[in-house]
Structure 1
Amino acid sequence: MKLTLILLAAGDSRRFDGNKLFTPFHGKPMYQYIVEEVEKLPDGLFDDKIVVTQYPEIMEDLEKRGYVVVENVQSSRGISHSIHLALEAAASPDGEEASYCFAVCDQPYLKAATIEGLIEGWRNSKRGIGCLCNMGEFGNPAIFSESYRNELLALEGDVGGKRVLRRHIDDLYLHEVDDGLELVDIDVRPV
């Protein structure tokens, strides 16, 4: 089954008071953490890599790193719009069964080994959805098989895949992380 990584990096950072993706976090822009962790993963783990963003700097950087770049010029329509754009770009012309691993670019503590463990556990589980969790809290990345594509495309506004995930708990693989810090996304500027 084809697995596509989709990095979501188009948000307006309204709660952050500035562009969090470019804000230095321990010496480098926040978005680079997930990119560097993905580069540590085994070759071939993802068949394709897509980034959805509105920022030219991210487009230029990730295109050089082999990502398909999808520009979101309507980020105000919320995360669902980024999901729609990514799924349109990930459409498989050969009809091969696909799955999609959605990750966000504001989780600087997430580790490559955790991503790899999620994917391996999800594949072994034979479930249609997988996500990270810590003590009952769902987190990103989240993986959806092709059978959930239409539900993801039906999302509207600033609503993401967790809405679909919660509807299908019976088809959900949860990959517990020991360190809940890995699931923390930085939504407000540190004081």
Structure 2
Amino acid sequence: MEFLTDEQAAAYGSFIEEPTQPEMERFFYLDDVDRDLIALRRADHHRLGFAVQLCTVRYVGRFLEDPLDVPWPVALFDHAVAWLRRHRVLLPGVSVPARQVSTVREIAEQRLYVTVAKAARRADPRLPDDLVALLEVPEDRRISELERLRRPTRDTGRGADQVREKGAADPTLRGKELVSGYGGAGRGRW
């Protein structure tokens, strides 16, 4: 779109800033009908995901490609404070709900890590160990293999040509070069 800036295009249908209190009350309040609809879902994580998408589609106007693109900590904090007020609970110091939100966030991150690790192990039993190995810094080097792979290649000319030829000559080796880094410059640019 020629008339939109890159920022406008990127902002379309996504959370740009934290919702205001009136927006939270208007778009994120779940009435009895909403809660009955959410209760039809099988597990807690399905119910949570459905509720997040329901509120997101109301506020943003569409479903997010990545449901985690929600300002979680702030939204959770605001929801907790709203719950306390609705139930006429004397508000504690701000650090109390902030700590609770932080704890919940850490638990959610840990669950996500475990879920991804299990899925990776099911896909390829060696994959988690291979990924951890990418993070280790060998004694004879100053950076990890992952960091080396992230940096732009500096090989030019003959060295890069040799790596390309080696990968082209042996297709079974090509994938190993990309993951393990045998050959230096082979980083998926061929």
TM bracket, shorter-chain basis: under 0.3
- Answer 1 or 2: which has greater strand percent: 1
**Given the two structures, how large is their TM-score scaled by the length of structure 1?**
0.26
Tell which has more relative contact order, 1 or 2 (C-alpha 8 A, sep 6+). Answer: 1
**Given the two structures, how large is their TM-score scaled by the length of structure 2?**
0.26
Structure showing greater Rg: 2
